[in-house]
Amino acid sequence: MPTIRHVTAFLESFAPLAYQESYDNAGLLVGDPDTAVTGILATLDCTEAVVAEAVAKGCNLIVAHHPIVFKGLKKLNGSNYVERTVISAIKNDVAIYATHTNLDSVTGGVNFMIAEKLGLQNVRILAPKTKTLMKLATFVPVADTQRVLDALHEAGAGNIGNYSRASFRVEGTGAYQAGDGANPVLGSIGDYHREPEHRIEVIFPAHQQRTILAALRKAHPYEEIAYDLYALENADQTVGSGVVGELPQSVSDQNWLAYLKERMNLPLIRHTALLGRPVQRVAVCGGAGGFLLNDAVRASADVFVTADYKYHEFFDADGRIVICDIGHYESEVFTKDLLIRRLAEKFTTFAVIFSETDTNPVRYYV
């Protein structure tokens, strides 16, 4: 029977915790990772009602988008909904896992789900992250080059966008003299040995450094391995904030609003003044995405779909773009569909269930 650890490892294989923002608290918040899973309940938020739903449906793991524990808890006496939810989960042996800004940031994550709901094409990251990549350069006897590269690729190195197994090599001559106590694979103790070698280079996600180096040490023939690690400033086009894409064909701005309302099942849309221009390129950020407005403008988006805009922030559109605030819950509620899709494909020995609890704290009078 798969354990909670198996489930969280799978979730982190496509939404690594290393990609969460510094203020976030994604990960396993409640529960023993070695507990066998009886069922998973997927939800946007975790509340007392969601815990009760999990218990009623035989699920001992809740996978939520928003972390119920966001700030530090100094006591657990049920004085607020966060404490009551955690207490209820512990009493009922229900684990809680959150995949939040890390799931926002990856290709195929939350923003890609919104783009899918809107029927956008050519979807790409709006604001790619920097400082998430590293480069490994190492020196390998020519005869062993491909074997070492294969091991590095298997460990996750060499993926660049839609390309895999990417590397660079150049041939040169390595030289060394083995001293007493050494066990050289090539050459002899005391001899100055020269060996035709390849310098090989691969790029990899920075959070996989330990895995990549372990693969290198296992595959490399030398007793002492020469290698260099470089932290890269390159933007990672597969990781970042928001997305941008295009509708199959342009529509009028009025028709766009009707389309957005229908596709996202919205009670209303708060938006800036329409500009009387056709809409085709759409920028998206689930949740509070105002920080991406200038990125959306630079991407030549006609509209920016996000949430949590304050009154004065709407002025920042300044006639350059139409801001469409669709509500935080409404922008991210389909994250449940994404979680169900991924988890159900991987785990078939227990139920992965869509939470039916409406966790939206906002109500509208229309």
Residue 66 annotated as lining a ligand binding site: yes
Q: Residue 64 CB: number of other CB atoms within 10 A?
A: 26
Write out the two tokens for 158: 């060499």
Which of 177, 176, 168 lies closest to 145, judged by CA? 168
Residue 312 annotated as lining a ligand binding site: no
Residue 97 and residue 225 in contact, taking contact as beta carbons nearer than 8 Å:
no
SS3 288: strand
Residue 328 annotated as lining a ligand binding site: yes
Write out the two tokens for 96: 């809680």
Tell me how far apart the alpha carbons of residues 98 and 362 are, in angstroms, rounded to a whole number: 21
Tell me how far apart the alpha carbons of residues 71 and 82 are, in angstroms, rounded to a whole number: 10
Tell me how far apart the alpha carbons of residues 135 and 209 are, in angstroms, rounded to a whole number: 10
Which of 11, 6, 47 lies closest to 27, judged by CA? 11
Identify the bridge partners of residue 173 per DSSP, sorted by sequence position: 196
Tell me how far apart the alpha carbons of residues 102 and 18 are, in angstroms, rounded to a whole number: 7
Residue 290 and residue 308 in contact, taking contact as beta carbons nearer than 8 Å:
yes
Residue 83 annotated as lining a ligand binding site: no
Annotated binding residues, written as ranges, equal 65-66, 104, 328, 332
Annotated binding residues for a divalent metal cation, written as ranges, equal 65-66, 104, 328, 332
